[in-house]
Amino acid sequence: MSHSATPPTGAAHTPSTGEGHLRRALGVPSLVLFGLVYMVPLTVFTTYGIVTQISGGRVPAAYIITLVAMVFTARSYAKMAHALPFAGSAYTYTQKSFGAGTGFVAGWALLLDYLFLPMINYLVLGIYLGAAFPMVPSWVFVIAAILLVTVLNIIGIVSIARANFIIIAAQAIFIITFAALSIATMTGTGTVDPAAPFTGDGTAEGFAPLMAGAAVLCLSFLGFDAISTLSEEAKEPKSSVPRAIVIATIVGGLIYILLSYLSQLVFPSNDFTDIDSAALDVMAASGGEFLRIFFTAAYVAGACGSALTSQASVSRILYAMGRDRVLPKRFFGHLSSRFDTPVYATLAVAVVSLLAMVIDLTFLSEMISFGALVAFSAVNLSVIKHYAIDGGRRGAGAILSYVVLPGIGFGLTVWLWTSLSPRTLIIGLIWLAVGIAYLAFVTRGFRRPTPTLDLTE
């Protein structure tokens, strides 16, 4: 369960003369909270069973590796948000730094994430509701959720921010309850090994399995850059937005580490009833049936909210791509005259999301991480290009800030990227190749200008 990096907005439009301006009212705490809402704390349980088995029971250790890489990357996002305080995130940063062609490829990689984010929410929703109601096939819940969310997105929603904060509050209450019950349970056993989540269970030893697990966990950090989309509503955006991006990344990472650490202490095994719904075994061990039910309710609510926002986001991105003729305008650029929403684009996302009935959670998680790591790599390189090469920043401090640190971030993201499974790498590279081929087609063999996407509205 993870939110899209681009928050849902109304259909794109050109501001008219005389329109009001967004009020600069958000400080660092509000921006950090917004970022955490988008990262979703319970995302840690989406891939918990998968990474437990991949890493040999070392999920917190894998999260530490991912967090280190993400801190360097978040710093690069912060530097680019300071220089280019616009929406569009990695796509905009890469396009402005390296040109339209490279920006298009980065955007194409991100499109993979945008299309798969609603799908993974529907998939985990089906998994956990299917576990709660085993007499009903999981695909029934998947289809019902897709229909409900699609209808809500088509008819239009004035604001879902309040619902998001209710969902995050419920998850915060759950986290406190889970931590208290876990500590109480472990205190009564007297057989807890506090180092076990870092030393492992012996089923997958060495550093390579740890890196493979860390690579999958990158999807947990999707959304920290959503803070950059609030630049026009932030107080002193050139300082508050970059700070909030880094703080949200660190706080989110620490929450993930804590939750996974407690989970592996209270249930020190990778022998799950079902690897995809492994969190239910953890909840049963921590707080019995009560915590299983509480977790399922909080998690499913979060998955629904995440599906709602991520499908709204990607449908508007597809609409913008159609409007700007990056994709066929007649279909993707269509806006409903009745609902003022991109109906065809929303339906297209719904159709793609039907793959949630048959796709594997491990593969889907890795594909989302693949797209994210390509974007993260591009942003780290954008800092070097924008500041050191184009900006001519020199001196020891500038070299450290604009070459060495983003260079480390780039190296770490590439390392994680190449730690994904061969199947994921092959399919991901095929996706990138399709994007380059499509770019060649729309530019008539690169003889015409590359179409660019306007995400600054």
What is the per-residue pLDDT across 36-60, written as a single tens digit (0 to 9) for each? Answer: 877 778 889 999 999 999 999 999 9
Residues in contact with 120: Cβ distance below 8 Å, sequence separation at least 6, in sequence order: 1, 2, 46, 219, 356, 361, 364, 365, 368
What's the pLDDT tens digit per position in 137-150? 999 999 999 998 88
What's the pLDDT tens digit per position in 369-379? 898 888 899 99
Phi, psi of 71 (to 5 degrees): -65, -45
Establish if 331 belongs to a structural domain.
yes
pLDDT at 409: 95
Helix, coil or strand: residue 26: strand
Burial of 297 (0-12, 13-18, 19+ CB in 10 A): middle
| Domain limits for position 144 | 28-442
Establish if 20 belongs to a structural domain.
no
Helix, coil or strand: residue 290: helix
Instruction: Judge whether residue 180 has pLDDT over 70.
Output: yes
Burial annotation 128-155 (CB, 10 A radius, 16+ → b, else e): bbbbbeeeeebeebbbebbeebbebbbe
Task: Please answer whether residues 249 and 69 qualify as being in contact, where contact means their C-beta atoms are separated by less than 8 angstroms.
Answer: no
pLDDT at 20: 42
* 36-50, 265-279, 301-315: least confidently modelled range: 301-315
Which residues on neighbouring strands pair with residue 448, listed in sequence order? none
Establish if 17 belongs to a structural domain.
no
Band of residue 160 on the pLDDT scale cut at 50, 70, 90: low
Q: What is the mean pLDDT of the chain?
A: 84
Establish if 22 belongs to a structural domain.
no
Structure tokens at 135: 């007499």
Block residue for tokens 């301006």: 21
As for how many domains the chain has, the answer is: 1
Residues in contact with 164: Cβ distance below 8 Å, sequence separation at least 6, in sequence order: 37, 305, 309
Highest mean pLDDT among 153-157, 310-314, 357-361, 390-394: 357-361
pLDDT at 453: 64
Q: How far apart are CA 111 and CA 113, in angstroms?
A: 5
Q: In terms of pLDDT, which residue wins out, 10 or 329? A: 329
Establish if 2 belongs to a structural domain.
no
Burial annotation 420-434 (CB, 10 A radius, 16+ → b, else e): bbeebeeebeebbee
Q: Could you say which DSSP state residue 42 is in? A: G
Establish if 10 belongs to a structural domain.
no
Establish if 141 belongs to a structural domain.
yes
Q: How far apart are CA 356 and CA 66, in angstroms?
A: 26
Task: Please answer whether residues 356 and 366 qualify as being in contact, where contact means their C-beta atoms are separated by less than 8 angstroms.
Answer: no
Establish if 398 belongs to a structural domain.
yes
> Once rounded to an integer, what is the mean pLDDT over residues 350-361?
92
Instruction: Judge whether residue 324 has pLDDT over 80.
Output: no
Instruction: Judge whether residue 3 has pLDDT over 50.
Output: no
pLDDT at 1: 57
How many beta carbons lie within 10 A of that of residue 291, not counting itself? Answer: 21
Q: How far apart are CA 169 and CA 187, in angstroms?
A: 27
Task: Please answer whether residues 182 and 291 qualify as being in contact, where contact means their C-beta atoms are separated by less than 8 angstroms.
Answer: no
pLDDT at 27: 79
205: Cα separation from own chain's centroid? 28
> Once rounded to an integer, what is the mean pLDDT over residues 356-361?
90
- Where is 37: in which H helix or E strand? helix 28-39
Which residues on neighbouring strands pair with residue 189, listed in sequence order? none
Instruction: Judge whether residue 157 has pLDDT over 50.
Output: yes
> Once rounded to an integer, what is the mean pLDDT over residues 101-115?
84
Task: Please answer whether residues 280 and 271 qualify as being in contact, where contact means their C-beta atoms are separated by less than 8 angstroms.
Answer: no
Helix, coil or strand: residue 180: helix
Q: How far apart are CA 239 and CA 322, in angstroms?
A: 34
Predicted TM-score (pTM) of the model is 0.84
In terms of phi and psi (left: phi > 0; alpha: psi -120 to 50; beta: otherwise), the region of 41 is: alpha
* 2-6, 210-214, 300-304: least confidently modelled range: 2-6
CATH of residue 245's domain is 1.20.1740.10
Q: Could you say which DSSP state residue 1 is in? A: -
